[in-house]
Structures are given as C-alpha cells and as structure tokens.
Structure 1
Amino acid sequence: MTEHGSADRPGRKPAKRSRRFGIPPITRRILAVNLLALGFLFAGMFYLDEYRRGLITAELATMRSEANLFAAAIGESASFADPTTGEGLISLIAQQMVRRMVESSRVRARLFNEDEALVADSLLLGGPGGVVQIEDLPPPRTEGQQLRDFLAGYDRLLARLWSREDLPVYSEKSVQTARDYPEVMLALSGETASTVRAGPDGGMVLSVAVPVQRYKQVLGALMLTKGSEQIDTSVLKVRLDVLKWFLLALAVTVLLSIYLASTIASPILRLATAAQKMRRDLHRQHTIPDFGNRRDEIGQLAAALRDMTRALWLRIDAIERFAADVAHELKNPLSSLRSAVETAARVNDSDRRQKLMSIILDDVGRLDRLISDISDASRLDAELSRENSEAVDIRQMLRTIAEVTEMTAQKQRTRLAVDVDRKRDLVVNGIESRLVQVFRNLLANALSFSPPDSTITLRARRENSTVVAEVLDEGPGIPEGREKDIFKRFYSERPQTEKFGQHSGLGLSISKQIVEAHGGTVEARNRRRPDGKIIGARFVVTLPLE
C-alpha cells in the first residue's frame, strides 16, 4: 500500500446560508389583533384617570378663587367693630350675602364664626314659620335617559376600580359645627384648605374653606362645597369617545379574526381532512391541497405534507418492489435446490450424487448470503434512525480500510493506494460503522473487477462544503448506460471468472441508501483515456462537512 498527499484544489466558496430573524408572519398577525383592542382600552383607562384628576384640580382652584372673593366681601360688608367685644360677623347680613353670592351657581356656601358655630347656609331659608332647606330636584327624564344612566353607572364603577385613592365619605350632621370639617378648622386658623370626599350618590363632594378676615383678624370661615356632576359629565363624554374607539377596535378585531380564521384555520382544516381521508381510504386519488402560492407557515406545512405523502407512496412502492424482487431472487435458488434434491433421490451413481450435493451446498450458501443481505437491507432504515451520529474522519477511515484489506488485495496481486488531502479536515457527521460498510462494499466491488497487477486508489478531498471520496480501479469499467442501474436492488453484473451466486446484488444498493441517509450522494462513472477508451471505474461519494 502506498500513500501520498495531494495539494489543495481550488474550489468555489461555500454558499452563504440565508437566515431570517424576527417574528414569523402569522405570529405578528395574531399579536397585532389580540393587542389592538386591549391597547386602546388600557391606555384609555390611564388617560381618563389623569384627566379626572386634572378636572378636580381645576375645579378646586376655581372654587378657591370664588371663596376668596366671597370671604373678602363678607369681611367688608357683614362685620362689625365694638370697642368692648371686638370685631365679629353680623349674622343676618351674612346670611343674605351668602344666599345672594351663590344664587346663580350650583355651589353651596356655609359660613362659620370664630366660635365654630354655623352662621349661614345657602341651602337654608329663614322665615316666620322657621327654617326651610332647599333641595335641587333631579332633571326631568328625557329620551335616552336610561342609556345615560347606565353609562353614568359604568363610569362610576370604572372610577372606583381605577381610582388610586380611598376618599373619605361625606356626612352631614343635623347640627353642624366647624369641627365636623377639618378644612374649616384650618381656615379658622388662617389657612386655606380643600378636600375631596366620596358622595352618597356615588359621585364626589368638593369643598374649599377660606378664612373670613378684617384687617388680618379672622372673623370666621367660609366653606364652599360642590358636587362632581360637571366633572362626571366631562369624563363621561370622554369615556364615551373612548368607548366608540373601543367598539371600532372590537369591530376591526372581529373582522381580522374572521380573516385569520379563513387564512389559517380553514387551510389547516382542509389539510387535516385530506390527511384523514388518505389514512382511512389508503387511496391515491386523495391528495394534500396545494398552498404553494402562500409564503408563510401554512404554505410550508402544505408543502411538507405533500412531500411527506409523496415519500410515503414512494416508500410503499419501494416496499412492494422489494417484496417482489425478494420473492423472485429467492425463487431461483429454491428452484435449483428443489431440482437437485429431487434428482439426487433418483440417482444411484455416487459421482453424480456427489455433484448434486455440491450444487445443493452452493444453493444453500447462496440462500444464506441472500437472506443475510435482505435482512440487512430491510433493517437499514430502522437502524439508521436509532443510531447516534458522531464526527467521522474520512481520512483516517480510508487509511484503516486500506490496511485491513491489504492482505486480501495482495492475494489477488492488486496494489492499494491512498491519496488524501492532508492539509484540511475531512470530518463529516454520521454513523461510522455504516460509512465503513459503504467504502468496504465499494472496495470489495473494485477488487472483484480488478485484473492482476493493477492498482485501486482511494482518494478524498474537500470541495466547497463537502467531502468527496473516490474509489478508482483499473478493471473493465461499467457497461454503457448501466451507471445508475448498478445501484438497483439485486442487480448483478459480475466478472465471468467469478463463481455464480457469490454476491446477492444488494451491496451497492445498500451503500447508496446509507449515503443518502447521511445527506450525500454516490454515483458511478467510467474512467477514460483521452482517446475515449475505458480504463476502469470510478465511484464518487459526496458527504456534507460536519
């Protein structure tokens, strides 16, 4: 055996594999549809909560300005100065002024003196018969009032759910004093204060208390209170606008859901129905629908199912052909064996009987080899699926195979040469025992056709992103037009000097099956001189790099 290295051979650069990152198209559609309506609703809730706070702040500022004006007017017009008792409020004038100042507004005004007693209340009218409390009547019910009431209740519910504060509840005693209201106590001490309370009707009660002063002396405290009807109306109007957008988003969501159902669910249902029909009927008239015009996951799924179905039918056809070929190949030696046994039973000549016994032994050996190869071929797919792949060095494998086969080659006066690329790695991912079987089959085939004093060369090189291994002999070559047929099952084109029945015709077929299971190819060619004369055969195995 001789070995020599080969120089690097130029080759094309490996093609760059295009990769697409990002979210798949169908996933983007589903996310957009599901998040659209929720995004509108979620953003609207936070927006309205801040909007309500802004309205409350603005309303309190307005009430504070009004209260300061009213307090200044009361301090100037409804106060008295007594050298002995000091300054104070004139109750009757204060009561009249309080009612007049808030008459045109929806604000309630209450005036407390410096002794913390209630002096005036805009909702209380005094007369000869006593005191009468004024109550605002609800507005008359109009068309659509029921819907507005429902929406108002919906607004109050959301306000409670989304509110970040627990408001104190507004309560009013029959006899009111300044101590009932903390903001009034602060006003009596000279400070301006405001408070927001939860009203009994589900709304809010806004109150502002300011001191009533005359020449920097606090004479009392004026408290203005107002309900949140205007604020609730403003928020309700905005919430209705948000609700309109939400309904629009809901409609768009429904339409997009119908669109997705027609583009995703319906095709998948068609694919499932077709697969069930094929499984149930086992008839080739049922085919997987073709969605080749789609460029998404559904199109890929349909193409994969069609390819799988096509491969399944090809496998069924291959199994049927294999069964027929096995029956045919087994029938020949069985017929010969039967004929020899029947003849031996009638022959009395010992020489002829011994000759028939030799035929029987040859047929039994042929059957044994045939059954062993058939068993190996039938188990090949299952064994390939169970065994684990690993890194396999083709360079070292060819050297080892050549060393193991060296003795057999010398008996046939055939020389083995190994010509491998030493500079670059020749490592593939595969099942080493099966790849060894491939090259041993190819080498055994070359030995059977090689004449004495010839050379068989094992070559291996790296080409682009593959490893190319070759087995070259100097035999008679391959019959013209049979380059592909020799890989078919039970094909047997043997040398005339070889004893009949030594090979089953499955070796090259098994080798092709193993190579293709590794994602590679194997092909046979004739080696020719420049004048076209055949000088041997060349078997080329191409395997992807690890």
Structure 2
Amino acid sequence: MAADRAHSGAHPGERDLALSWSARVSLTPRILAVNIFALALLAGGFFYLDSYRSRILDSRLAQASREARLMADALAAAPPQHRDKLVLTFARDTGTRVRLYDSRGKVIADTREMGSRNAILVDPDKEGWQQDAARFLDAVIDTVVGAQRAPLFRERRGDRGLEWPDVQAARDPAITHASVWRAPDRTPVITAAASYGDGTVFTVNNARDVTQTVRVERFRLSVVLAIVSAVSILLSLFLARTIVRPLRRLARAAVRVRLGRAREVVVPRLPSRRDEIGLLARALSDMSGALRHRIDATEAFAADVTHELKNPLASLRSAVDSIANVRDPELQGQLIAVIRDDVHRLDRLITDISEASRLDAQLSRAKFEPVDAGTMIDALLVQRRERGVERRVRIRFDRPSAEPLLVLGEGSRLERVFENLIDNALSFSPDGGLITIAARKDGGELEVRVEDEGPGVPENERESIFRRFHSVRPHDEAFGKHSGLGLAIARTIVEGHGGQIMVESREDRLSGARFVVRLPLAGEV
C-alpha cells in the first residue's frame, strides 16, 4: 500500500519515466539483455538452416523420383539380357544403389552384389569425436528448431521388397514414390521406386553431402554469431562502463552530500564528456555547490541573527534588572524609554529577519505579472508626502514621459525595494536635502536611480553594505534605528526578478550616493 501511495503521489513527469519490473534491474544487465535479445534474433538463422535443408531434400526427392522414372522407362524398353549392364550404368551415373524387384517383392538384381559400392552407410561408432560432436549439434539444433525426425533406415531382406513403402506404392504404374530416411550417423537417405513392366526399380542414395552442406552453413553462421556476440558483449560492457560507472560515482557523491559526512564533497564534473551524463554531472556539481553556498549562508545568517538579537536583549535585561532597584522617577523613566526602544528594535529585527529568511522561497513561488514601476514610485512618493517627510527633505521623481515602465514582477516586493532605498536615502540626507529618483529605459532594461546628498558610500564598502546586518550609518544617528537588513532584502528581491542593484558615486561630483536598480522590461523577458 505504501508503494501504491508513493506512486500515486509521484509527479506526472516521474510517472511518464517510470518502469515496471525492469526498474529493479541494474543498467548493466539491462544493456546486456537488450543486446543479447538482438543476438537471439540473429540466432534465428538456425531456423532458416532447417528450412534450407528441407528445400534441398525436397529437391533431392524430386530428382530421385525423376531418376527412378527414367530408369524404369529405360528398363522397360531394353531387352532382358541387357538389364544388368544398364542397371550398373545407372548406379555409376547417379551414385545410387539400384535394386530390381519382381511383382512378389523378391530382389532380382542388386548393384551391390554386382560390385558397385554406392550408397554405403557409415558406422558412427567408427568415426572420430569431431563427427560425434557434429551429430550432437545436429540433434540439439533439430530439437531447438523442432525439425521433423525422419524414420531410421533399416535394410530389408531380399525377398521382402514389398516392405519398402516406396516399392509398395510404386506397384501402381502411375505412381513414382520417394522417401527420406535417417541413417545411423544422422545423414539423410533418399529412396525412390518406379514400376516397369512386371518389376520395380528401387534406388537408395545416402545424401551425406546435404548434411555436410548444412553443417558448413551452420559453421559459418556460428562463426558470425560468435564474432557478433563477442563484439556485442564488449560493446555492451563498454557502454555500461561509460554510462553506469559515472552514474554510480555521481550517486555516491550525492549520497555523501545528503548524509553530510564531508564538509566539501567533490561531485565529479566530468569536463571531458559532452553528452547527457556530462551535463548531469556538471548540473549536480553546480547544484551541490549552490547547496553548500545556501547552507553556508543559512549558518552565517543564523549566527548574525544570534549576534544581532543579543545586543537588544542584553540592553533589555540590564534595564529590567535595574528598574526594580531604582527609586528615582526620572531614572525609571529613562529605563522605561530604553526598554521601549529595545522592544521596538527587537520587533523590527524579528520582522525583518522573518521576511529575509522567507524571501528566497517566496520569490521562487511568486507569480510575476506586468507592473508599471513609474506608477508604483509615484504612489510611494504620494504616501510618503502624506505621512510627512522628516527634516524637510525633498523628494523629486524625474520621469522621462508618461509611457508605462512595465517590468515583470511581484508588485509588493518591488515596492519594498524602492521603499527601502528611499528610507536609506532619507536616513543619510542632510536637513533640507534633495533625493532624486530617475527612471529610464536602457535597451531591454528599466534603470531606476536613487540619489541623495549624504556623505556617500566609501568605495571599499560598496559591496559589503548589501550583506545582512552590515550597515554604515551616520555618526549622529541613534543606535538601533535600522536592522541592517534593508539593502540585503532589496538585493535579494531585485536578483530574484532577474535584475541588478549597485551603488556608485554621483556623476555630478556632488556628495552623496547613487543606488542603481536594473530590471528587465516586461516585453524583453
């Protein structure tokens, strides 16, 4: 049941790639099995050899019938005193043993008795082991291919000619009959009979050449099959080596990554391979690297969170411990103010930490839609002015035209980017300073600039200010007003939208910082 539930919950793509019984078998035997199956098709040539032998025997049967008919016609036309000489001539020319039977089945002429040694059957017990092996292979292959087994050839006595099926059938003058028998050494014996006048001519031929021809073809096929089998097995092992071994290395590395046994698990990249396995190796290597980077970032983030939370907690603990021992109302008020500030700072830290920790996962699931960045910035500035801008700082938005500045993204997240940049510019701006926001299309990107008139960002700090909890604050700003996560959150959101954020000096050489955000335009994604 557990397996069924796991399968039913599988991804549709996994179900498309799922295998049944073969999924339990390693790739190496599967590759070998596929190639062996192809070899089995080639081995089907032995069935063709059986058909080839059958066609040869059919041809020999027809030939034996014609020869018996011709002999019978010649004997019928020849004078009786010439029959013995004629029969010997037939035996010599056709290579057969010829016998003549009378109407009662008694032999009246036999070329064997006349000195002709045609159609002598071989005693298999007197042959070498090679012939025994050949006959054994004949029997095995005949059994495998289901070849029909001919009856064993046995000689009849001279007065029992009618026991031969061919002689019995040939008593009808219109019939010429031929049969195939099996000699003791498994070679075919072909007999044929035809009637003439008051007698029957009966021929016997041990067609050993048929067996020899089939064995030669079988040997050639076996050699081809052996060579192809060896090459196929070697290629299968080579294929298994080039596929299975790197996959096993990758699997072992992936297991080590999963178990976390080693801090730096090296996943082989297989740079020399340009096939799918090489792509898989490099993808797994990149994935493990990204995973290590994510783990390192998570550990560093956890350490930073612990450090950042300890400061307000220590201050809060000290104020709480002290307030019970202080009787002066003025000092109590100061301690209460400290407690209030620490609580606000903790609340701000926890809120920003919660958002920063969930930001990557939320962006990966977010559904991006076309967003007009120009309208969004206008709305942010209207809200900011309605709340009142502190220290008489002015904010100006330079928009080239009323055309939409569409980017693909999540509106609330992009709004947080520009809000954080405006908050950052406000905190660094002097009293009565000017913050300038400019937006323009640059090729396939939207470029938004946020400039202030503050002290600017030192060149050696322009990358570190985007790290979590790193902040370069004005000297006169009260401690704990910012969590140090605003710019880090802004960078994460911008990069999650396929864009870039950076800080640079102002081109007009005035003091202050310029933050530049680049986002792909909606029509260019």
TM-score by length of 1: 0.68
Q: 1 or 2, which has the higher helix percentage?
A: 2
Q: In structure 1, what is the equivalent of residue 436 of structure 2?
A: 455
For residues 369-417 of structure 1, the C-alpha deviation after alignment (integer angstroms, 9 at most, x for no partner) is 10121122223344445x3x4342143x552453255221453342345
| Separation (CA, whole Å) in 2 of partners of 1:204 and 1:329 | 100
* Matched residue, 1:152: 138
CA drift at 1:491: 1.9
| Counterpart check, 1:377 vs 2:375 | no
Per the alignment, residue 20 of structure 1 pairs with: none
Q: For the residues of structure 2 that align with 1:304 and 1:205, how far apart are their CA atoms?
A: 71
Shift in alpha-carbon separation, 1:112–1:359, aligned structure 2, 3 A: farther
Query: Where does residue 76 of structure 1 map in the other structure?
Result: 74
In the alignment, does 2:367 pair up with 1:390? yes
Contact 1:490–1:504 (8 Å) recurs in 2: yes
How many Å separate the matches in 1 of 2:383 and 2:491? 26
Q: How does 1:278-357 map to 2 (within 5 A)?
A: 282-284=261-263, 287-289=266-268, 291-357=270-336
User: Which is strand-richer, 1 or 2?
Assistant: 1
- The answer for the alignment partner of 1:138 in structure 2 is 123
Report the counterpart of residue 87 of structure 1 in structure 2: none
> Which structure 2 residues correspond to residues 78-477 of structure 1 after superposition, within 5 A?
78-79=76-77, 101-102=90-91, 107=96, 136-139=121-124, 140-160=126-146, 188-189=173-174, 229-260=208-239, 262-274=241-253, 276=255, 282-284=261-263, 287-289=266-268, 291-384=270-363, 387=365, 389-395=366-372, 398-400=374-376, 402-409=378-385, 411-412=388-389, 413-418=394-399, 426-427=407-408, 433-446=412-425, 448-449=427-428, 454-459=435-440, 463=444, 467-476=445-454, 477=456
User: Is the alpha carbon distance of 1:100 and 1:137 closer, same or farther for their aligned partners in structure 2, counting shifts above 3 Å?
Assistant: farther
- Given the superposition, is the C-alpha separation of residues 65 and 504 from structure 1 closer, same or farther in structure 2, using an over 3 Å criterion? same
* Greater alpha carbon shift after TM alignment, 175-184 vs 95-104: 175-184
What's the counterpart of residue 6 of structure 2? none
Letter in 2 for 1:356: L
Give a deviation string over 1:230-276, Cα, whole Å, max 9, x none: 32322222222222232233333444455445544444444455555
Give 3-state SS (helix, strand or coil) of 1:78's partner: helix
Deviation at residue 357 of structure 1 after TM alignment: 1.7
CA contact (8 A) 1:489 1:505 kept: yes
User: Is contact 2:170–2:195 with CA below 8 Å preserved after alignment?
Assistant: no
Q: 1:112 to 1:182 in 2, by over 3 A?
A: closer
Letter in 2 for 1:136: L
Deviations 1:487-528 (A, max 9, x none): 10112234567654332111221232344445x342213253
Q: 1:39 to 1:496 in 2, by over 3 A?
A: same
Q: Is the 8 A contact 2:188 2:207 kept in 1?
A: yes
2:507 maps to 1:529: yes
Q: In the alignment, which residue of structure 2 is the partner of 1:45?
A: 44
Amino acid at match of 1:406: V
Deviation of the 1:361 alpha carbon: 0.9
Amino acid at match of 1:345: A
Give deviations 1:45-85, integer Å, cap 9, x for gaps. Answer: 34x5556545654564466456435533432333589xxxx
| Matched letter for residue 42 of structure 1 | L
For residues 12-23 of structure 1, what are the structure 2 equivalents within 5 Å? none
Note the alpha carbon deviations across 1:89-116, whole angstroms, 9 max, x for none: x7x9879866763467665668899x9x
Q: Distance in 2 between the 1:189 and 1:156 partners? A: 35
- Structure 1 residues 420 and 259, CA, compared in 2 at 3 Å: closer, same or farther? farther
Q: Is 2:510 aligned against 1:512? A: no
For residues 443 and 239 of structure 1, the distance between their equivalents in structure 2, rounded to whole angstroms, comes to 90
What is the alpha-carbon distance in structure 2 between the residues aligned to residue 425 and residue 234 of structure 1? 84
CA contact (8 A) 1:529 1:535 kept: no
Q: Which residue of 2 aligns with 1:24?
A: none
Q: Which of 507, 516, 519 is residue 539 of structure 1 equivalent to?
A: 516
Question: Residue 353 of structure 1 aligns to a residue in which SS?
Answer: helix
After TM superposition, the score normalised by the length of structure 2 is: 0.70
Q: Percent identity?
A: 30
Please state whether the residue corresponding to 2:327 is helix, strand or coil.
coil
Structure 2 CA distance for partners of 1:337 and 1:305, relative to 1, 3 Å: same
SS at match of 2:73: helix
Corresponding residue SS for 2:491: helix
C-alpha distance in structure 2 between counterparts of 1:514 and 1:403, whole Å: 19
Measure, in 2, the Cα distance between the counterparts of 1:508 and 1:182: 112
Q: How far does residue 333 in structure 1 lie from its aligned partner after superposition?
A: 1.6
Work out the CA distance in 1 between the residues paired with 2:48 and 2:352.
Answer: 82
- Please, which runs of 5 or more residues in structure 2 have no aligned partner? 1-27
- DSSP 3-state at the match of 1:246: helix
The question of whether the paired residues in 2 share the 8 Å contact of 1:419 and 1:459 is answered with yes
Q: Contact 1:183 / 1:193 at 8 angstroms: preserved in 2?
A: no
Q: 1:512 to 1:538 in 2, by over 3 A?
A: closer
Q: 1:18 matched to which residue of 2?
A: none
Deviation at 1:281, TM superposition (A): 6.9
Q: How many residues align?
A: 480
